[in-house]
Amino acid sequence: MAEPCELKIRRRHPEQHAEDLDQVKPGLDEETAVMESSRCLGNNFCRSCDLCRYFCPDLCITRNEKTGHIEIDYDFCKGCGICAFICPKGAITMAREE
Domain locations along the chain: 51-86
The reported pLDDT for the residue numbered 97 is 76
Q: Supply the pLDDT for residue 23.
A: 58
Reported as a single tens digit per residue, the pLDDT across 7-60 is 555 566 655 555 555 555 677 888 887 777 766 655 667 878 899 999 999 999
* Gap between the Cα atoms of 38 and 85, Å rounded: 19
Which CATH number among 3.30.300.30, 3.10.290.10, 3.30.9.10, 3.30.70.20 corresponds to the domain 51-86? 3.30.70.20
At 6 the pLDDT is: 60
Question: What is the pLDDT, as a whole number, of residue 18?
Answer: 55
